[in-house]
Structure 1
Amino acid sequence: MKITPVILCGGSGTRLWPLSRSGFPKQFIALSGEHSLFQQAVKRVQDLGHDGFAVGTALIVTNEEHRFLALDQLKDMPGVNAQLILEPTARNTAPALTLAALEALEQGEDSVMVVSPADHAVQHLDVFQTQLAQAIRVAQSGGIVTLGITPTKPETGYGYIKAAPQSLAHGQRQVERFVEKPNLETAQQYLDSGAYFWNSGIFILKASVWLEALQAFRADIADACRHAWHRKSIEYKFVRPDTELFLHIPSESIDYAVMEKCPGSQFPIHTIPLDAGWSDLGSWDAVWELGAKDAQGNVQHGDVLMSGTHGTLVYAASRLVTTVGVDDMVIVETADAVLVAHRDRSQEVKAIVQSLSKQERFEQTLHRKVHRPWGWYDSVDEGDRFKVKRICVNPGGVLSLQKHNHRAEHWIVVKGVADVTCNDQVKRLNENESTYIPLGSVHRLSNPGTTPLELIEVQTGGYLGEDDIVRFKDSYGRSTAE
């Protein structure tokens, strides 16, 4: 039985600011365990190969901005074969799944798609695998299945699924209806009834079944997606639907477009209850709930010292963070921003993000350390007419052939070997050697070695913005500032 993992990887993760930012959202961060949430989502489905399923090419639906983050993290997962489907702009999850279904059918078999968001966490993997395997068996015969999370509290931040009381084969229960996020009183009633489950957003169904159901309920989305898909382009592991046609696709979620219309229709939907320590990590309070707590109920990450502190989450990303006499707090430190909030109000961080966006502050979008397809850079200091960066270029990494109209650059190699092109000259720099790139010079930096190249870059000039760049050649198909 062939299955196709479909990982929906388009979220911006603003509720976990300042660690998660639109340019490096939460799915690419290791919030639970050693691997990122995205990597965990891929692995949870990939591991079904151990249960006798034939796992096909994983389809990762993401956007242009995050394509290299996803590709880079997939490189750390040996044995995973993946295809990245790039949306030109966000159109919610229904078009994203439709593109994946069209790709799955083009691969030559009507496989069972296991559709999962990229930013969820699951603690008990053995339970998850068992229930997911049951769902796949139901979907193989043409059914639509979702995993319904057994609620543990009256949660107002999730949608709910009402299921029929009787269990059918494979432990499935017929879904009677989907309901929106309730108020606290209603959520408590749902919890007490035992008939409601949290909507996990994990769906299991054949590619053809999704397309048939979408055509029945939202033919406008189905037709528009097909038109954009038929004019797609393929480059390396990237598949791009036609940009102009994609812009005409209505924006809609999987739930609104199809799933909420399934009960009572020709496309009945079933749920299989799941009690496996699932969380969508939708707030810092949820991260605290999932984390390993000490005797005082504290969760900590990084270099942290606490005294007289209880029920608090402290995430230290770049320096020592200490607390004295605080309770039920969230403290998140990064190199360029710090969040301090009461734990039960951590959802309100979205107001901070909105303010940052209105003020057009870079802290809403990027970290001080910025990841690129060739490595990363860290802007460590800046003043009038100068900026200092640490730069790391991965083995074999090559920056674009480029020039700057407003700045010159000085490069000092501190580790590894660099090949430097500057106008018509090419030279190799070893550790403790340096070079100067005059303003307007056409230049390129690459790492010919087998170990990371690290250097210090000092920029000087009247304008030092990242958009001061003209590319002539680029190995990664980019057209925006690095």
Structure 2
Amino acid sequence: MTKKIVPVIMAGGKGTRLWPLSRASAPKQFIQFIGDRTLFQDTLERVSDPAIYEAPIVLTNEEFRFLVAEQARELGCSLKAILLEPVGRNTAPAVAAAARLVSDLHGPDVVMHVLGSDYEIVAGQAYFDSVKKAQQTAELGKLVTFGIEPSEPATGYGYIEGGDSLPTGARTVQRFIEKPPLDRAKDMVATGGFYWNSGMFMLKVSSLMSEMRNYAPEVMRAAEDAVEKAARDLDFIRLDAQAFAKAPNISIDYAIMEKTTNAAVVPSPFKWSDLGSWDAVWKAGNRDEQGNVATSNTTLLNSRNSLVMTHGVHLAVQGMEDVAVIASEDAVYVGHLQESQSVGDIVKLLASLPKTAKLTETHPTSYRPWGGYTSIFNGDRFQVKRIFVTPGKKLSLQKHHHRSEHWIVVKGTAEVTIGENVQMLRENESVYIPLGEVHRLANPGKIMLELIEVQTGSYLGEDDIIRIVDEFGRN
């Protein structure tokens, strides 16, 4: 049995509170906000010390599986497993399934660290001191949560009231408190002993499974059945859909943490934010002398206390104060920072209109097991994409009924199959694939292959693909 902690990273959540960068198909954990890594990659980095942690297990869903694999590959991080949820059932069934898998892989008495992948955390000495306290407390059989010492009377978080002190430096849990009104939050912060509920846990597998069987037996039965009947697919473990669907839709807080008498909280003084709004992103960022947080490719003049971010066009902002200006490749959001908690209202409006619904659902960049593509421009009977292929990977041997394609290599070397002919294309070389012709693209090189694809035809949907041979098992 390993003495190290087994990290279990939850990466399946969807959300649009940080629209337009975050979409239903590309939520905030996979998006770069400030810095050159995503929140999911930051989470992987926090559990990368082999002296403390085993290789991580990631819980996600079918839609995000290639995002998880690609972003781990970019960091050079080896994952123990990618566990795919066939249907969303909240955190209790997901954690129960992970516990059963961890028990199978490492034994029932190991400690697992359950982390969300969409937090902003400063992982300094205070963070790892808290991890150590939580591990020691979990080894005593306690179900441990991390309680963040509040820096302000925030109303967007749940709270935990600490009870008696434990020898490890943790405290028993007196009670959990739902998101409070402002006056109640002020009272709790002034009184002391109340902590923000971080949604992170440290749990001995045997203790967790025992409490699950006591307080949420239907959750545990469904999760174990789903793991026992799971199927392996490439690097993924697919939970059995029929078994997992029987699990109640319930959070781990409601299922066991608020019921058990065995809960503990580690008071944690490190910086933490769930980045649930653009205002939170601004607070977490590095502000200049005028109080602005801005990414590269931006110009600000006579503006104060604002958040300016772009993943596409250059943004020039003049004479503004307390605003968020956010540009993705295909949409721009402008609003007051103090109103950013209600960005969901405009997302709902966009989603209700046929012309704009897609802006809330899909991101211009999509990932595939071989790499991915970014949509650059869509026109009448044509579209332009940037295709990127990971070294050593190849697309399926395929054909299209309704479109022809032009490929221009801009980086790397492409191996192109058209019918019976195989040719090599280098930078600045191009090729034409006629409608209906069997073809394939591969990257035989050592660097990322990038090319521009121009599609022309009567129908340009992604479902106009007839796969003849596919090494990833897709139809």
Gaps of 5+ in 2: none
Structure 2 distance, partners of 1:62, 1:415, is: 32
Deviations 1:441-472 (Å, cap 9, x if unpaired)? 22211111122222222211111112222222
Task: Map residues 90-129 of structure 1 onto 2, 5 A cutoff.
Answer: 90-109=88-107, 110-129=109-128
Displacement of 1:124 in angstroms is: 4.6
The equivalent residue for 2:150 is: 151
Tell me the residue number matched to 2:65. Answer: 67
The letter of the residue matching 2:344 is K
1:220 to 218, 222, 227: 218
Contact 1:46 1:80 in 2 (8 A): no
**In 1, Cα distance between the equivalents of 2:77 and 2:285?**
29
Counterpart secondary structure, 2:47? helix
With the length of structure 2 as denominator, give the TM-score of the two structures: 0.95
Instruction: Give me the whole-angstrom Cα distance separating, in 2, the residues matched to 1:408 and 1:33.
Output: 39
- Matched length: 470
**Structure 2 equivalent of residue 448 of structure 1:** 444
Which residue in the other structure is 1:379 paired with? 375
Q: Tell me the TM-score normalised to structure 1 length.
A: 0.93
The secondary structure found in structure 1 opposite 2:106 is coil
* Residue type of the alignment partner of 2:330: D
Asked if 2 retains the 8 angstrom alpha-carbon contact of 1:44 and 1:129, the reply is no
2:270 matched to 1:288? no
Secondary structure (helix, strand or coil) at the match of 1:2 reads coil
Q: Contact (CA 8 Å) 2:396, 2:467: kept in 1 or not? A: yes
1:227 is displaced (CA, Å) by 1.5
* Selected match of 1:307 from 301, 308, 313: 301
2:41 corresponds to 1:43: no
Offset of 1:208 from its aligned partner? 1.4
What SS is found at the alignment partner of 1:107? helix
Partner of 1:324: 318
* Equivalent position of 1:430 in the other structure: 426
Q: Secondary structure at the match of 1:15?
A: coil
Q: Does 1:460 align with 2:461?
A: no
The 10-residue stretch of structure 1 (332-341 or 403-412) with the greater mean CA deviation from structure 2? 403-412
Structure 1's 343 and 258: CA in aligned 2 closer, same or farther, altered over 3 A? same
Deviation at 1:205, TM superposition (A): 0.9
Deviation at 1:144, TM superposition (A): 1.2
Tell me, in whole angstroms, the C-alpha distance in 1 between the residues paired with 2:339 and 2:110.
43
- Where does residue 418 of structure 1 map in the other structure? 414
Sort the Cα spacing of 1:347 and 1:76 in 2 relative to 1 into closer, same or farther, 3 A: same
Which residue of 427, 439, 448 corresponds with 2:435? 439
Change (3 A) 1:108 1:381: closer
Q: Aligned-pair distance for 1:379?
A: 2.3
* Residue 22 (structure 1) aligns with: 24
Unaligned 5+ segments in structure 1 are none
Computed over aligned residues only, the root mean square deviation of the Cα atoms, in angstroms, reads: 1.7
Partner of 1:234: 232
The match for 2:7 is: 5
Mapped contact 2:147–2:266 kept (Cα < 8 A): yes
Q: Provide closer, same or farther for how the CA distance between residues 33 and 387 of structure 1 changes in structure 2, counting only shifts above 3 A.
A: closer
Give how far 1:108 is off: 3.5
Cα offset for 1:128? 0.5
Residues 8-49 of structure 1, C-alpha deviations (whole Å, 9 max, x = no match): 1111231111111222221122334432211221222333x4
Query: What's the % identity of the aligned pairs?
Result: 45
Give 1:443's aligned amino acid: H
